[in-house]
Chains A and B, each alone.
Chain A
Amino acid sequence: GESVGLHLPTLSVQEGDNSIINCAYSNSASDYFIWYKQESGKGPQFIIDIRSNMDKRQGQRVTVLLNKTVKHLSLQIAATQPGDSAVYFCAEKPGTYKYIFGTGTRLKVLA
C-alpha cells in the first residue's frame, strides 16, 4: 500500500476523556488483529489483540471492537492520560507468517 507520509491523522482529546481510534483493514481473510502503540523513537508496543471469532475484547482501560462486516477495528481508551500520547497502529494477520500494518493515528492528549 501507499504510505501516508508525514501527515498522520491526529486525534486530540482532553485528559480524562475517552478516546476512540479507528482502523480499516484490507483483507477479509485476516483472522487476528493487534493494536500497537508507538512512542517517538521506539518500537511498536503491544496493547491488545483480538481474534476474528470475537467482536469485542477488553483489557485494562482499553477495549478493541471488531466489525468484520465492514472490516473495521477500533481501539477505545478510557480516561485518557498524557502518557497515552503516541501513534497507534492496527495490524492484521492475513496469513500464518505475516502482519500488515495500518497507517497509524496520532493521539494527542491535552492537559
Chain B
Amino acid sequence: EPEVTQTPSHQVTQMGQEVILRCVPISNHLYFYWYRQILGQKVEFLVSFYNNEISEKSEIFDDQFSVERPDGSNFTLKIRSTKLEDSAMYFCASGGTSSSSETQYFGPGTRLLVL
C-alpha cells in the first residue's frame, strides 16, 4: 500500500540554523500539507499546497517558513532561521485525487529539536 514518507526521522539543529524537512507524498495525490505537533499538544495546520502553489497557510507559517515541490515527487518544508519554539514533530500529509479532494494521509513525521 502506498504511503507518505519523510526524512530525516530526527533532526537536531542549533538555533538560527536553516533546516529542510523532506517528504515524498503518495504519487497520485494532488494536495500536500505540512502540520506540526508540539510535544503533548494537538496537531496544528501549517500550510497546504496545490497546483504548485500555496493554497492556504496558518498564522504559524510566517516568513521563516517556505515550501517547495522541486522535482514533482519531493515536497519540502524549509525553516530559514530556527527558533527554540520550532521544536516539534513535523508531519507531511498528502491527499486528493482528480476525483476527490478530501482525505489525507500522514507520513511518520520528523522530530525537530532546536537547541
Contact = CB atoms under 8 A, between A and B. Distances in A.
Interface of A: 1, 3-6, 8, 32, 34, 36, 42-46, 49, 51, 89, 91, 93, 95-104
A43 B108 contact: yes
A10 to B, nearest CB: 13
Given A98-B48, A101-B44, 8 more contacts: A43-B108, A49-B102, A97-B31, A97-B55, A99-B104, A102-B42, A103-B42, A104-B42
B102 A3 contact: no
B38 interface: yes
Interface of B: 4, 31, 33, 35, 38-45, 48, 50, 55-56, 58, 91, 101-109
Contact of B40 (A5, A36, A99): A5
18 contacts: A4-B42, A6-B39, A8-B40, A34-B104, A42-B109, A43-B4, A43-B91, A44-B106, A46-B106, A93-B102, A97-B55, A99-B45, A99-B104, A100-B45, A101-B42, A101-B43, A101-B44, A101-B45
